[in-house]
Amino acid sequence: MSIKRETAGSRKRYWKCPVESDEMKRRALRAGTEGLANLYEQVTFDEVHRQVLHLIPVEPARVLEIGAGAGRDAAALSARGHTVVAVEPSDEFRGIGQRVHAGHRIQWVNDKLPELGTVARLNRPFQLIMLTAVWMFLHGGERDRAVSRIQELLSEGGRLGVVLRIGPVPYLRRRLYLSPPLEGSA
């Protein structure tokens, strides 16, 4: 499968997410996973993805939301009529997402990149795969494997939406979800 690239535009148009405000981040980290989840839920799907909303399928589609966090985007995509599988490796985030977005039909899966072994056994392919603020948690070798897996899961002509962090990743943020003792302790 060939992958066609469409970007949100020039670097100047990059949107600085309110979640990136240093003071908000500090407060959220002090409040642990629940605090981070609140922070992620303070922005809407439409705000976060406003530059690529025209690329979101209009017709009902199978959507894979990888690194779903507290489920903001999974819920919004479900509300748009899509069938959503939300992948989230953190038990805490998954629990919060299931609680906060209980009114939405979302299939929550405990899995993670690069393998996505459980997702690979589900009904597929997906017409849309979203990765928002997740790529920074993967290192070089994992990224290559993740791309191959995503390619397998994406339908022919399907779309992959990736929201990247621009700039360096603070050490603690990279490890935040990888080591349970560090979770919420920064």
Beta strand spans in 48-133 (E): 62-66, 83-87, 106-109, 126-132
For ligand SAM, the binding residue among 32, 89, 125, 184 (CB under 6 A) is 89
- CA 121 vs. chain centroid, Å, equals 20
Nearest residue (CB) to ligand SAM, 60 versus 170: 170
Beta bridge partners of 85: 64, 107
Using rule CB under 6 A, residue 132 touches ligand SAM = yes
Please, what's the b/e burial string for 70-108 (b: 16 or more CB within 10 A of its CB; e: otherwise)? bbbbbbbbbeeebbbbbbbbbebbbbbbbebbeebebeb
Using rule CB under 6 A, residue 126 touches ligand SAM = no
For ligand SAM, the binding residue among 112, 149, 153, 154 (CB under 6 A) is 112
Name the segment binding ligand SAM (CB under 6 A); options: 6-14, 22-30, 54-62, 133-141: 133-141
Using rule CB under 6 A, residue 93 touches ligand SAM = yes
Q: Closest Cα to residue 62, out of 108, 14, 111, 126?
A: 126
Using rule CB under 6 A, residue 96 touches ligand SAM = no
Using rule CB under 6 A, residue 137 touches ligand SAM = yes
Using rule CB under 6 A, residue 134 touches ligand SAM = yes
User: What's the rounded Cα separation, in Å, for the pair 126 and 155?
Assistant: 5
For ligand SAM, the binding residue among 49, 62, 72, 82 (CB under 6 A) is 72
For ligand SAM, the binding residue among 61, 67, 82, 86 (CB under 6 A) is 67
User: What's the rounded Cα separation, in Å, for the pair 49 and 53?
Assistant: 6
Using rule CB under 6 A, residue 133 touches ligand SAM = yes
Using rule CB under 6 A, residue 177 touches ligand SAM = yes
* Residues 6 or more apart in contact with residue 156 via CB below 8 angstroms: 1, 125
Q: Which residues bind ligand SAM (CB under 6 A)?
A: 40, 66-69, 72, 87-90, 93, 112-113, 132-134, 137-138, 177
